[in-house]
């Protein structure tokens, strides 16, 4: 099942927010974001819309479907794992977002407060392809 373009743009805006949560964005995180934007065929207009979104709470309100929520969690996991380290800032933000959107801690990539980085990194292609399918 596809998700709406509005949900897609909001998902990517939240993921972009996460990637910028640390003061410096790791090269691997930047590559993942670029690959994700390409997979979703984000237009220049949508990029401008993303830049205009400044309220995380407002963005999360527009991520309503179960598919969109799980896509968001998987992409956040992908960005967080891309540099091989699950940083404390990423952990705090992801946990808050998961709680806010109602995705429980039993997500396959998360164990208690930790992200299974090797599992996420092993599934990069699968995550991007499933995201591409949802965005179609």
What is the C-alpha end-to-end distance of the chain, expressed in Å?
9
Per-residue pLDDT tens over the stretch 101-116? 988 766 788 777 788 8
| pLDDT given for residue 45 in this prediction | 93
What pTM value is reported for the model?
0.85
Burial of 130 (0-12, 13-18, 19+ CB in 10 A): middle
Q: Which helix H or strand E contains 110, and what residues bound it?
A: strand 110-111
| pLDDT given for residue 46 in this prediction | 92
Per-residue pLDDT tens over the stretch 8-67? 888 999 988 888 776 778 888 889 888 888 888 889 999 898 888 878 888 898 888 888
For the cut 80, the answer to whether the pLDDT of residue 135 exceeds it is no
Q: What are phi and psi of 85, to 5 degrees?
A: -130, 130
Domain ranges for the chain, please list them: 5-135
Nearest to 15 by CA among 93, 108, 86, 87: 93
Give the class (CATH, top level) of 5-135.
mainly alpha
């Amino acid at each position: 099942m596809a998700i709406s373009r509005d949900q897609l743009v909001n998902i990517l805006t939240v993921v972009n927010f996460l990637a910028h949560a640390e003061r410096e964005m790791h090269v691997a995180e930047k590559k993942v974001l670029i690959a994700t934007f390409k997979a979703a065929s984000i237009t220049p207009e949508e990029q401008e819309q993303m830049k205009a979104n400044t309220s995380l709470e407002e963005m999360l309100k527009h991520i309503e479907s179960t598919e969109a929520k799980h896509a968001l969690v998987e992409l956040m996991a992908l960005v967080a794992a891309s540099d091989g380290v699950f940083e404390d800032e990423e952990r705090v933000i992801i946990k808050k977002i998961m709680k806010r959107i109602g995705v429980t801690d039993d997500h396959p990539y998360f164990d208690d407060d930790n992200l299974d980085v090797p599992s996420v990194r092993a599934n990069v292609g699968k995550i991007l392809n499933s995201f591409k399918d949802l965005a179609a």
